[in-house]
Structure 1
């Protein structure tokens, strides 16, 4: 579950059930998904052992949801700019050199 991202509060992220699903593609490969409260989002990710990551091919379904478009747009623009990852216990933090931070907690952790 996404718990920290730009100026979006944790309450909004929790209410929207904002998450990134890195459990893997049913067809194999590096295809993954995300949900920010309205549209299903999808992307390709390649994680390296040195802590680097490359996100590409970000897309989504095209429903309009009045209150969620700002979050979805910001997520879609930020994800391909994130270049580093760090795993600390149940937390995954994605960052870039410009200071953008996306912090997630494992779905099975409470």
Structure 2
């Protein structure tokens, strides 16, 4: 594969990962989010695993609580097209949760 094409693909994938992180921050904000602190405000988690190029997202619609599973989870490798689905899901959640 030509270097130019590789750079273009990497730039697109980086933009998609940035979009996922932006949506997580839009849903969660920058402050602490736990159900006991914020009542029903959603809590979102973003995890990047660089050793395997993986992105994971979890959203607790009514805030994080210990020992309670997230309402939405998505886990995908960056070299797959699943990032687009993750972005679409998070955009819908952002609208539904009206944050």
Do these two structures clear the TM 0.5 threshold for a shared fold by scoring above it? no
Structure with bigger gyration radius: 2
Superposition TM-score, scaled by structure 1 size: 0.27
Bigger fraction of residues in helix: 2
